[in-house]
Amino acid sequence: MLSTKKTLFPVSRLEREQTIYRVLQILLKLRHIGAFVQNLTSSPQSQIMSLELRFWQARTLALATELGVADHLAEGPLDVTELANRTKTNASALFRLLRALESIGIFLQVSPRVFVNTEISEYLRQDVKRSQRPWIMHALSMGHGPCEAWNYLDYSVRTAEASLQEVYGFDIWELFRRKPESNMYFNDAMRAATQAMTSAVTVAYDWSRFAVIADIGGGIGTQLVSILEASPSSTGILFDQAHVVSIPAIDARIEVINGDFFKAVPEGADAYLLRFVLHDWDDSKALAILA
């Protein structure tokens, strides 16, 4: 006998993604409420100290990521001595690093000097879906732009100029052109950031009403691919600089065009997408992009 009861979960993929999106929004609000309550019960001095420690936490996280600790722990527990041999570090110093990260939920010491991955540190591995390693390598690892920019924040505040101009003599985009490794980390970071929120973007709009969708400054096309998956009747234009989009065709429905959005953008699209773009530029250049 067939049941007439409704299923607990939505049937279609769209309904599932919409439900997940709503749940995530609720959880985010609860997280903000929790932080607010914690601030109410903490002294101002404690709150400031907590903010100070976040810089240390970010740097220890970056170093563990650079060393590939999570990758080495992928198959199971390892003693610090073995980890030190694999990462070419000092065992005593590495032990202290891992204990510091354990205090914030990254890695777990299951027996004396033996560590395993946690649910959080699993996302530091290179081989997992939606890994956060690319973003950390781009944003927190020395030598790739953002770290140096933050180190010279005082220059930007005093002059209202990009600090990397002072550090390198050119902006971050020129750094990416000159340094393929940094460009790779940036592209991978944008892919990771896009994958983390792609469902929200594809669910938020009815993309099927646009025949042609142009992603301006779209990088390697991660967002555009997800949009076209949600809208099979649409085609896309991926527009960015040559060193960014000089990749094989990623979808038969996507036309890859190299160019500079300060000079011109492709014509003929029904919708133009600018994502993670305008915040990179000052007001005058942002207006030039939109003109």
Domains of the chain, each with CATH number or no CATH: 50-128 (1.10.10.10), 129-204 (no CATH), 205-290 (3.40.50.150)
What value does the mean pLDDT take over residues 245-253? 69
For residue 16, the surrounding DSSP H or E stretch is helix 13-41
What span, in angstroms and rounded, lies between the C-alpha atoms of 79 and 91? 10
Which two three-digit tokens encode residue 87?
């990462």
Least confident residue range of 104-118, 172-186, 222-236: 172-186
List, by residue number, the catalytic residues: 279
pTM surpassing 0.85? no
Question: pLDDT at residue 5 above 50?
Answer: no
Query: What does the pLDDT average to over 33-41?
Result: 66
Question: In this structure, are residues 168 and 146 in contact, taking their beta carbons and an 8 Å threshold?
Answer: no
| Rounded mean pLDDT, 173-194 | 84
Predicted local distance difference test score (pLDDT) of residue 1? 44
Whole-number pLDDT of residue 98:
98
E strands, 5-145, where? 78-79, 108-111, 114-116
Q: What is the mean pLDDT of the chain?
A: 85
CA–CA separation, 262 vs 291, rounded Å?
9
The pLDDT value recorded for residue 25 is 62
Give the distance, in angstroms, between the CA of residue 89 and the centroid of all CA atoms in the same chain: 28
Q: CA-to-CA distance for 258 and 235, rounded, in angstroms?
A: 17
Write down the pLDDT at residue 154.
Answer: 93
d(CA 90, CA 98): 12
224 band by pLDDT with thresholds 50, 70 and 90: very high
Contact between 136 and 61 (Cβ < 8 Å)? yes
Amino acid at 198: T
User: How many angstroms separate the CA atoms of 102 and 58, rounded?
Assistant: 13
